[in-house]
Amino acid sequence: MTKLSVVSTGIGLLIGVALGGLLVGNRGATASDAHATGSAEVTTAAESVATATRPPRVHHILLEVSNMRASLIFYRDMMGLIPRSEGSDFTILRGANVDIYLSTNPWTWKEPRGKDERLGLGMYPHVEVEKVKDAVDRFRKAGYTIVQEPRDYYWGTEAFVADPDGYTWSLISLPRKSKDS
């Protein structure tokens, strides 16, 4: 059983709500188990249904951006996502396991964003990179805000960087298993 960090669980919960409650957590844990043990790992009713077949596929994450050119530089040139289509108001970028869509048009059901309103609060996507410290150096040299410098944990290294609209991304490096493992 894999233990999730509180941050990862928060992202999972946010995505689960966005997917209509189709959150898939760890097998066998319940909300009362999580409360009793202090663990953030829970099994949802949707998981019980989903595991009978398979968990839902996250198709893409859409980000509302203010400047497509600046966002393309961040996501394509700095993060290494591959463009599938590029437009002045909508772009699709391919990742290894989930696509990122960028749109300069807000949803019609949403209130207009305030001048100083920061986007992406509470959602911190995690991207695995070869070496966090090297990636942070590249982002810093390109002028991006480093929200948190690299920190070493028992599970690997993590840092946080903000895109031009203030979306905060976690950069992680996990220990590589040797061929003997």
Share of the chain above pLDDT 90, in %: 51
Q: How many CB atoms lie within 10 A of CB 176?
A: 9
What pLDDT sits at residue 180?
55
pTM: 0.66
Binned at pLDDT 50, 70 and 90, residue 161 comes out as: very high
Going along the chain from its start, the domains and CATH numbers come out as 6-53 (no CATH), 60-173 (3.10.180.10)
Q: How far is CA 75 from CA 1, 14, 18, 71, 144, in A?
A: 32, 22, 22, 6, 12
Across residues 81-90, what is the average pLDDT? 96
Task: Residue 142: name the closest of 73, 83, 69 by CA.
Answer: 73
Give the pLDDT confidence of 87-107 residue by residue, as tens digits. Answer: 999 999 999 999 999 999 888
